[in-house]
């Protein structure tokens, strides 16, 4: 293990030195020393569709009551068939994404085969659990949603975690972040009154996910809407990971906005 990887592992575990922030960047009142400010608050959503999984996330990153950034990327590719939607501490989540990318690639190169799905889920569970002490202090905690396309089963799969690293698999959907609680019942309403997400077309499922994100933005101050910046959306299927084009997002968000008038 080289020094860079050792430092990264120690930061993930919460035992390494704090990352210094550049001059001129203000820290949150809950920041410890000169560590990266606490950035949290969001809504990220994963829903299945007939052929894979759609991930949607708002772009707002907050620190307490301040909007730190309105173009944050919260749905990130870990490898060719794995997406991670992040909520909680944005700084810690970025460290975790870097660690997982390195870990998956190192395993593939050293073992001459990709890491198994169970191995990937276990690696993520470790870093979620390692963040618990920081989360209990009000800093550094995060909750992810992992989406993948299982090539053996030929289906998209969604996994979510609790703060202690326990993982659960969802049959239809998952959400995380400060706005996820407000829309929890809406998922069930859609499934029971329309149809399950996994039977929907890509466009239908994307529209429902964007509608859910819009409701979360209306009910949660830390979740950004799309009047200024379009949300981020990615799909994962047998073809791999693809970005949803801005034109398609604009069309669907405009359609949803018309319903509210």
Sign of the C-alpha dihedral computed for residues 112, 116, 122 and 128 taken in this order: positive
Is the residue at 232 inside a domain?
A: yes
pLDDT band at 251 (very low <50, low <70, confident <90, very high): very high
Is the residue at 29 inside a domain?
A: no
Q: Rounded distance, CA 137 to CA 218, Å?
A: 29
Q: Which pTM value belongs to this model?
A: 0.81
Q: Rounded distance, CA 154 to CA 156, Å?
A: 7
Q: Provide the number of structural domains found in the chain.
A: 1
Question: Is the distance from CB of 142 to CB of 34 less than 8 angstroms?
Answer: no
Is the residue at 84 inside a domain?
A: yes
CA torsion 38-104-171-161 (nearest 10°) is -30
Is the residue at 27 inside a domain?
A: no
Q: For 19-48, how does the pLDDT look when each residue is reduced to its tens digit (9 = 90+)?
A: 333 333 333 333 333 333 344 568 999 999
Is the residue at 25 inside a domain?
A: no
DSSP string, the chain: --HHHHHHHHHHHT-SPPPPPPTTPPPPTT--TTPPPP-B---EEEEEETTEEEEEE---EEETTEEEES----EEEEETTEEEEEEE-HHHHHHHHHHHHHHHHHHHHHHTSPPPHHHHHHHHHHHHHHTHHHHHTTSS-EEEEEEEEETTTTEEEEEEE-TTS-EEEESSEEEESTTTTTTHHHHHHHHHHT--GGGS-HHHHHHHHHHHHHHHHHH-TTS--SSSSPPEEEEEETTEEEEPPHHHHHHHHHHHHHHT-
User: CATH number for the domain including 142?
Assistant: 3.60.20.10
Q: For 194-228, how does the pLDDT look when each residue is reduced to its tens digit (9 = 90+)?
A: 999 999 999 999 999 999 999 999 999 889 888 88
Q: What residues are labeled active site?
A: 42
Q: Across residues 74-90, what is the average pLDDT?
A: 92
Is the residue at 26 inside a domain?
A: no
- Decide: residue 119, CB within 10 A, 0-12 exposed, 13-18 middle, 19+ buried: middle
Q: For 97-110, how does the pLDDT look when each residue is reduced to its tens digit (9 = 90+)?
A: 999 999 999 999 99
Is the residue at 98 inside a domain?
A: yes
Is the residue at 39 inside a domain?
A: yes
Cβ neighbours of residue 217 under 8 Å, at least 6 residues apart? 43, 58, 179, 223, 224, 225, 226
Task: Supply the range of the domain harboring residue 105.
Answer: 3-20+34-259
The pLDDT score that the predictor gives to residue 34 is 35
């Amino acid at each position: 293990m080289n020094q860079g990887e050792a430092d990264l592992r120690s930061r993930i575990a919460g035992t390494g030195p704090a990352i210094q922030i550049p001059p001129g960047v203000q820290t949150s009142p809950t920041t410890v020393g000169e560590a990266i400010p606490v950035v949290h608050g969001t809504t990220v959503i994963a829903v299945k569709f007939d052929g894979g999984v759609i991930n949607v996330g708002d772009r707002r990153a907050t620190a307490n009551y301040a909007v730190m950034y309105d173009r944050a990327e919260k749905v990130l590719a870990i490898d060719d068939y794995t997406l991670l939607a992040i909520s909680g501490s944005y700084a810690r989540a970025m460290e975790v994404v870097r660690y997982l990318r390195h870990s998956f690639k190192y395993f593939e190169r050293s073992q001459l085969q990709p890491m198994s799905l169970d191995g990937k889920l276990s690696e993520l569970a470790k870093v979620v659990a390692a963040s618990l002490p920081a989360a209990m202090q009000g800093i550094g905690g995060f909750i992810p949603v992992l989406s993948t396309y299982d090539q053996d089963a030929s289906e998209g799969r969604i996994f979510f975690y609790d703060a202690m690293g326990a993982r659960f698999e969802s049959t239809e959907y998952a959400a995380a972040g400060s706005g996820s609680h407000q829309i929890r019942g809406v998922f069930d309403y859609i499934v029971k009154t329309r149809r399950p997400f996994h039977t929907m077309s890509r466009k239908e499922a994307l529209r429902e996910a964007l509608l859910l994100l819009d409701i979360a933005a209306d009910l949660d101050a830390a979740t950004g809407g799309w009047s200024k910046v379009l949300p981020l959306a990615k799909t994962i299927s047998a073809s791999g990971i693809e970005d949803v084009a801005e034109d398609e997002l604009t069309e669907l968000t405009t359609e949803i906005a018309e319903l509210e008038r």
